[in-house]
Amino acid sequence: MITPHQLSTEAKMLIRQGNEEKFVQDIAGKGFWDSCKTIDQEVDLEIYIHIIKADNKSCLSVQRGKHRVISQTPVEHKYTVLAFVLIGDIRDDVSSAVSSRKKPGGPAPGEAPAFWDFDLA
């Protein structure tokens, strides 16, 4: 059974502080539930989603929190960003090239990254 839960005002405060791009990564597994701090002891799977505006385009950031299964998902596969198309949906990529991204506004696999995607440090 899937049951949605609201996040607490403490979680919403992270967005107000300018943490929108890494929001789902920062709240995963930390019990930011509204009206209940112990619900994370009961659930078997956490999936956090949040819509982000980056470069005047909307995208959906998805973070997988804890999950109780025999083998764990590698950390690098627990976070992804899916871009909305101009019409407003997210197209599937089952029979085509992968369209997920590692960061909002970043390139999809196989696309040339923009100059700001390179870490110069």
The residue whose two tokens read 């405060």 is 13
Query: Would 57 be classed as within a structural domain?
Result: yes
Query: Would 3 be classed as within a structural domain?
Result: no
The Cα–Cα gap between 67 and 59 comes to 24
CB–CB of 94/104 below 8 Å? no
Query: Would 121 be classed as within a structural domain?
Result: no
Compute the half-sphere exposure of residue 55: CA atoms within 13 Å on the CB side of its CA.
12
Query: Would 29 be classed as within a structural domain?
Result: yes
Q: How many domains does the chain have?
A: 1
The Cα–Cα gap between 108 and 24 comes to 19
pLDDT at 2 over 70: no
pLDDT at 32 over 60: yes
pLDDT at 115 over 80: no
Query: Would 113 be classed as within a structural domain?
Result: no
Query: Would 35 be classed as within a structural domain?
Result: yes
Query: Would 1 be classed as within a structural domain?
Result: no
Query: Would 4 be classed as within a structural domain?
Result: no
pTM: 0.69
Q: Is 90 exposed, middle or buried (0-12, 13-18, 19+ CB in 10 A)?
A: middle
- Domain around 84: 9-108
The Cα–Cα gap between 118 and 121 comes to 9
Residue 47's pLDDT is: 85
